[in-house]
Amino acid sequence: MIEAAGRELGPKAVVTDRAEMEPWLSDWRGRVHGEAPAMLAPATTEEVAAIVRLAARHRVPLVPQGGNTGMAAGATPPADGSAILLSMRRMKRIRIVDPESRRAVAEAGVILANLHDAANAVGMRFPLTLGARGSCTIGGLTSTNAGGTQVLKFGTMRSLIAGVEAVLPDGSIHNGLSGLKKDNRGYSLDQLLIGAEGTLGVVTAVALRLVPAIAARAVAWTGVGSPSDALALLRFLEARSTAIEGFELVPADSLELVLRHVPGTRPPLGGAHPWHTLIEATTVDPRVDIAAEIEALLAVALNQGLAADAVIANNEAQAEAFWRIRDTISEAERAEGQTLAHDISVAVTDMPRFIIDAKAEVERRFPGVIASGFGHLGDGNIHFHVRAGDHASPDWYEAEGAAITRMVDDLVTAAGGSISAEHGIGQLKRAELERLAPPGRIHALRAIKHALDPLGIMNPGKLVP
């Protein structure tokens, strides 16, 4: 198959050099390692179709990969070298950025930050962003239905996608880029492909919704007494302003870790608080003084005891510094020691209690560990991370990790939540999905997979149990 691909696509599209492939054979966290005899890097949709047809003919599985920033090892090939890596990074053309129709069409390998810049250049904005924006791709974001920090106002990738172009497992091209507002010709292939993690086809381009560029933003940091105070503060702000688009919860110990391990970070507030929130409000109207609006609202909130202290960033550099604290929590945890990450969701109203109760239960059952929940409180989605603590053995992750994760997943399931809020299932959560999902759901996943990919060539061993 590799020779045939070389003949059809030319040498530029075929990488077999081990050193060149090396960075792409392990997942972003460096925990899962795979092997592949080659990495194919098509530059056009037709080349992707040619590769998929070859894969079907030779019965060779393909593992699509974008920026390889995924958190569930979905883009890591199997360790036995039985699959070929399909790098989408050469498909990096932004085909359309049109302020009139408020649409962009970006190929799968376009880096998110580059789409942000292209939209901004025409006075528009693609309103989804996340910490990996300098590396993650539109194809990966689509295939994981990524979320990020602006979901509160704009939703996940799914709500920002107007259509998908993809190569299906039989090598045919599905073109959903026309961006029809109404199209009820039965099952939506576009919707099936969003969040499919490369198991139903290869996303080659995506039509995306744009919104007007921001005229100004206000970024605030508050100290609050508890997650339920934080949620009350969010509800207070939402009831009085439509400008709130980011609301992140940060516990004191996450802030302390960042200050200890990330150079150049400083505490936003003078005093100590058990919990913090990072708030972002934006306006598209240059006449609106958004900082004054948020300042006035926070003054009332402080008076009502919804927050203990608050500060608004004076300038963009300070705003970025506040966001840097939030964005580097995982990095600081890694510098501190072994950490188990869980990306979970429960109903928004249940989240404050879940954060407190789950932390207490996990720390009671596994003495010495430190559990903490941070992140997208307003979406009912937090990153519930469990750190090894000072006295853990070097093999703590391997020895206790699975049992801790089972407990967290059981607590989430008992609360009616999801064991994967935004990171997908990949290979890391497949067994837990099978253990905890209702049989009907598993049956439907398998039936859809088999119907579209009967040969099982699209990213086998991922997502579908």
Ligand X SMILES: Cc1cc2nc3c(=O)[nH]c(=O)nc-3n(C[C@H](O)[C@H](O)[C@H](O)COP(=O)(O)OP(=O)(O)OC[C@H]3O[C@@H](n4cnc5c(N)ncnc54)[C@H](O)[C@@H]3O)c2cc1C
- Which residue ranges make up the site for ligand X (CB under 6 A)? 28, 63-71, 74-75, 88, 108, 130-132, 136-137, 139-141, 143-144, 146-148, 197-198, 202-203, 422-423, 426, 459, 462
Q: Which residue is nearest to ligand X (CB)?
A: 140
Closest to ligand X by CB, 66 or 223: 66
Closest to ligand X by CB, 25 or 312: 25
The whole-angstrom separation of Cα 9 and Cα 462 is 27
Q: Min. distance of Cβ 374 from ligand X in angstroms?
A: 11
Closest to ligand X by CB, 110 or 255: 110
Phi, psi of 239 (to 5 degrees): -70, -15
Residue reference for tokens 């649409």 = 103
Closest to ligand X by CB, 1 or 113: 113
The whole-angstrom distance between residue 325's C-alpha and the CA centroid of its chain comes to 18
Q: Are 462 and 198 in contact (CB under 8 A)?
A: yes
Closest to ligand X by CB, 359 or 423: 423
Closest to ligand X by CB, 67 or 223: 67
Closest CA to 244 of 181, 165, 297: 297
Closest to ligand X by CB, 197 or 409: 197
Closest to ligand X by CB, 78 or 147: 147
Q: Min. distance of Cβ 367 from ligand X in angstroms?
A: 30
Closest to ligand X by CB, 85 or 290: 85
> What is the 3-class SS of the chain, one letter each residue?
CHHHHHHHHCHHHEECCHHHHHHHCECCCCCCECCCCCEECCCCHHHHHHHHHHHHHHCCCEEEECCCCCCCCCCCCCCCCCCEEEECCCCCCEEEEECCCCEEEEECCCEHHHHHHHHHHCCEECCCCCCCCCCCEHHHHHHCCCCCCCHHHHCCHHHHEEEEEEECCCCCEEECCCCCCCCCCCCCHHHHHCCCCCCCCEEEEEEEECEECCCEEEEEEEEECCHHHHHHHHHHHHHHCCCEEEEEEEEHHHHHHHHHHCCCCCCCCCCCCCEEEEEEEEECCCCCCHHHHHHHHHHHHHHCCCCCEEEECCCHHHHHHHHHHHHCHHHHHHHHCCEECCEEECCHHHHHHHHHHHHHHHHHHCCCCEEEEEEEHHHCEEEEEEECCCCCCCCHHHHHHHHHHHHHHHHHHHCCCECCCCCCCCCCCHHHHHHHCCHHHHHHHHHHHHHHCCCCCECCCCCCC
Closest to ligand X by CB, 14 or 329: 329
Strands 84-87 and 62-65, sheet pairing: parallel
Closest to ligand X by CB, 197 or 400: 197
Q: Min. distance of Cβ 104 from ligand X in angstroms?
A: 16
